[in-house]
Structures are given as C-alpha cells and as structure tokens.
Amino acid sequence: MKVLITGATGLVGQELVAQCLAKGYTVNFLTTSKKKLVSKLNYQGFYWNPKVGEIDEKCLMNVSVIINLAGASISKRWTSSYKKEVLESRIDTLNVLYEVLDKSKDHKVTSFISASAIGIYPNSVDHYYHEEETAVDDSFLGEVVFAWEKKINEFETLNLRTSKVRIGLVMSANGGALPEIAKPIKYYAGAAFGSGEQWQSWIHISDLSRMFLFIAESNLKGVFNGVSPNPVTNNRLVKEIAKILEKPLFLPNIPKFIMQTILGEMSYILFASQRVSSKKIEEEGFIFEYQNICNALENIYDKSGMCNIPENNVRNKYAP
Ligand SMILES: NC(=O)c1ccc[n+]([C@@H]2O[C@H](COP(=O)([O-])OP(=O)(O)OC[C@H]3O[C@@H](n4cnc5c(N)ncnc54)[C@H](OP(=O)(O)O)[C@@H]3O)[C@@H](O)[C@H]2O)c1
C-alpha cells in the first residue's frame, strides 16, 4: 500500500509513519516546511503551501490512501488572528487536496481518511457520545470541527471512501497534552482542574495510528471515534499520572478563573467534558492494545507493575 500523509511530521504523523514503514507500506508526505523534506525510497516528502493553493502533484503518484492530519495546533493562545489560522489551515489544506484530486484524471486514490476531533460533541458530564450525535458544541472548537468535517464530506463527491476519525486526547510522551499535564505533577505542583469531574476521552498514540491503518486496510468509511474504551475524569487522569510518576498530589483543584486568566479562552480545553464511545470501531473488529489509562501510562513512561487491574479485565468499565 502507498499512503500519502499530510501533517506527517507532527505528533500523530510521526507514529503513523513509523507504523506504515514497519508494515512495509510506502509513504509520501506533504509538508509546509521545506527543511522537513526527506527523500528516501519508501519515505518521500513533497512541499505544499495550502495558503496559496500550491502543491506538488507528484505526491499522488501510485498512492491509494490519503491520511489527512494537517492543521495548526490548538494549543496556542486563541487570539482572533490565531483562531483564523486554526480554521483556515484545516480548510485550505482540504481545498488544495480536493482540487488536485479533482484535476488529476489518472490518480489511484480510493480512500480519504481525515483527522477530526471529539471537540465537535457538546460539553457535557452526563452524555455518552456516539458517532450518530448531531448536536455540535457551542464553542470555537465545535465551530472549527464542524466546518472541518463539512469540507471532508466533500471528498465523497470524488467517489472516494471517506472517513473521519474524531480524535480524543492523544497520550504520548513526545508531545500533546500529557507532558504538559505531567510537568507540574513532576514538580510536586500537580492538581486537577475545576471540579475535576469533566470527562477526558483519551487514546494511546499507538492505538490511534493503528486505527487509521485499520480503517484503510478494512476499506471502512464514515465517522469513527478515535478514543479508548475507557474515558476517565480529569480527577482520575491526574491521579493516575501521579501514581505512575510516583509523586504525591496534595494541592486543591485549580479553579477555572485562574486558568482563564493565564490561558485566556484556550483554557476551555482543560474544562470541556466529552465522554465518548469507542464501540463502533470495536464492532468493526478493531482491538485496542491500551484500554485503560493506567496501562497506557505504564507503557508511555516505561514502567511496569504499577496497575492493579489486568488489561483484559477492564473493557468498558465506565460505560453506562
Ligand atoms: N494530539 C491530539 O491530542 C489531538 C486531538 C484531537 C485532534 N487532533 C488532530 O489530529 C491532527 C494531528 O494532531 P497532532 O497532535 O499530530 O498535531 P501536530 O503535532 O500539531 O502536527 C500537525 C501537523 O500539521 C502541519 N501543519 C501545522 N500548521 C499547518 C498549517 N498552517 N497548514 C498546513 N499544515 C500545517 C504540520 O506539518 P508540516 O510542518 O510538516 O507542514 C504539523 O506537523 C491535527 O489536525 C489535530 O487537530 C489531535
């Protein structure tokens, strides 16, 4: 299989590339940064500048699957100009891909799989979200993901099998939210946020990358939640990280207004609650390697013997 990956140089992309190469797949990737270009037999970079509609059309050569991960990070202060970049980076990239596929008469692409995010689901501590949910969160993130998915749906008109993976909190030692949450805990200053009752639907980075490939290999289409079977509350997440790092937690939860003062509107990410189901992808036959947070963290921090629950005994422990 030959796969074209956008955002391949990012957190999820790097793991996905590693898994593709380990399986013997050939990877083409698109990057906005010329210094990240690499040219190897099985891993070839191509430059694009979606802002001005520029793309190297050779990136499509013999590609059967496109996996789209590109987009400006949401973990920067949400100024009005940065908010524009978060949205436009997702829409511009899709526009460029759409146009090049539409124009190329002899491409071999059959599947288009794109990242999306669970931020589309309304903030709630009660709901248990499945893919059929139609309500959209009334926030900047909800607005971005809704527009992003609407654009992704247009790829169906090109007769491609089109899928969206609504990604949750990606757990990795190399970037994303986990190192940021773990940092104060390491320095004895860790605490949960607000009531700590908000749900965090997380996924181990290895399972997420395997899920993208599972969708490609199984010719699936539609929406799939990219979350593990057992979401946890923020209170529990912080406790589990502290346990694995063998650090005490003694500070009270950090009130919302403090984080709002420090981070501005972006603090929303810390307090939003989405309890999301992984049932649909499991029913397609996908098996999670990391089903509970303790085992995932044990793997990420390279510890063992820290979890009292055996991995195979916790399936959907928290599902209603
Ligand atoms: N990590 C999470 O917890 C999480 C949760 C939900 C959803 N997601 C989504 O999953 C995708 C991958 O996440 P990630 O954590 O791997 O993201 P990431 O580390 O920020 O990487 C995203 C990649 O997108 C490219 N990019 C950045 N700004 C861009 C722009 N303005 N135009 C075009 N490309 C741009 C960059 O690649 P180049 O520099 O090579 O161009 C970058 O390496 C993202 O779309 C993200 O929104 C992630």
- Predicted confidence (pLDDT) per residue in 265-274, tens digit: 889 999 999 9
Give the residues across from 116 on adjacent strands. Answer: 166
Task: Please report the pLDDT score of residue 20 as a whole number.
Answer: 98
Contacts of 64 (CB under 8 A, 6+ apart): 1, 2, 3, 108, 109, 110, 111
Question: Does 277 sit in the ligand 1 pocket, CB within 6 Å?
Answer: no
Angle at 111 between CA 107 and CA 114, to 5 degrees: 120
User: What is residue 282's three-state secondary structure?
Assistant: helix
> Does position 235 have pLDDT exceeding 50, yes or no?
yes
For ligand 1, mutation pick of 51, 69, 90 (most atoms within 8 Å of CB): 69
pLDDT at 78 over 80: yes
pLDDT per position as a tens digit, 279-293: 999 999 999 999 999
- SS3 at position 66: strand
Mean pLDDT of the chain: 95
Report d(CA 133, CA 120) in Å as an integer: 10
The whole-number pLDDT of residue 250 equals 94
Question: Ligand 1: distance of its center to the CA of 243 in Å?
Answer: 30
pTM above 0.85, yes or no: yes
Taking alpha carbons only, the member of 83, 91, 174, 145 closest to residue 276 is 145
For 127-151, how does the pLDDT look when each residue is reduced to its tens digit (9 = 90+)?
999 999 999 999 999 999 999 999 9
Report whether residue 70 contacts ligand 1, using a CB cutoff of 6 Å. Answer: yes
Q: Which two tokens stand for residue 44?
A: 């070839």
For tokens 């757990």, what's the residue?
171
Q: What is the pLDDT of residue 311?
A: 54
Q: Quick check: 118 pLDDT over 50?
A: yes
pLDDT of 318 higher than 50: no
Rg of the chain (C-alpha set): 20
Residues 153-164 have a mean pLDDT of 98
- For ligand 1, atom 12, name the residue with the nearest CA: 69
Q: Would you say the C-alpha torsion 82, 85, 87, 90 has a positive or negative sign?
A: negative
At 105 the pLDDT is 84
Which residue of 5, 6, 11 sits with most ligand 1 atoms within 8 Å of its CB, as the best mutation to test the pocket?
11
Q: Give the per-residue pLDDT at 71.
A: 98
Ligand 1, atom 43, lies closest to the CA of: 10
At 201, list the tokens.
């639907």
Mutate which of 170, 209, 266, 274 for ligand 1? The one with the most ligand atoms within 8 Å of its CB, which is 170
Q: Is 170 touching ligand 1 by the criterion CB < 6 Å? A: yes
Query: What integer pLDDT is reported at residue 317 of this predicted model?
Result: 46
Beta carbon of 31 within 6 Å of any ligand 1 atom:
yes
Closest residue by CA, ligand 1 atom 17: 10
Q: Distance between CA 308 and CA 311 in Å, rounded?
A: 9
Q: Does ligand 1 lie within 6 Å of residue 169's CB atom? A: yes
Give 23's contacts (C-beta < 8 A, 6+ positions apart): 1, 213
pLDDT of residue 265: 87
Q: Does residue 116's CB lie within 6 angstroms of at least one atom of ligand 1?
A: no
Q: Tell me how far apart the alpha carbons of residues 172 and 55 are, in angstroms, rounded to a whole number.
A: 30
pLDDT of residue 153: 98
Decide whether any atom of ligand 1 lies within 6 Å of the 73 Cβ: yes
Residue percentage of the chain with pLDDT more than 70: 96
Strand ranges in 105-248 using DSSP code E only, listed in sequence order: 111-117, 161-167, 169-171, 199-200, 202-204, 222-226, 232-233
- Reported confidence tier of residue 308, pLDDT bands at 50, 70, 90: confident
Whole-number pLDDT of residue 309 = 61
pLDDT in tens, 15-72: 999 999 999 999 999 999 999 999 999 999 999 999 999 999 999 999 999 999 999 9
List of domains in the chain: 2-168+202-226 (3.40.50.720)
Over range 226-230, report the average pLDDT.
Answer: 98
Nearest Cα residue to 136 out of 122, 148, 150: 122
Tell me whether strands 54-55 and 111-117 are parallel, antiparallel or unpaired. Answer: unpaired
Q: Which atom of ligand 1 is nearest to the CA of 73?
A: 20
> Does the pLDDT at position 236 exceed 50?
yes
State yes or no: pLDDT of 251 exceeds 80. yes
Whole-number Å distance between alpha carbons of 94 and 71: 10
pLDDT value at residue 32: 98
Of all protein residues, the one whose alpha carbon is nearest to atom 11 of ligand 1 is 69
- The pLDDT of residue 91 is above 60: yes
pLDDT, residue 320, reads 52
The minimum-distance atom of ligand 1 relative to the CA of 75 is 20
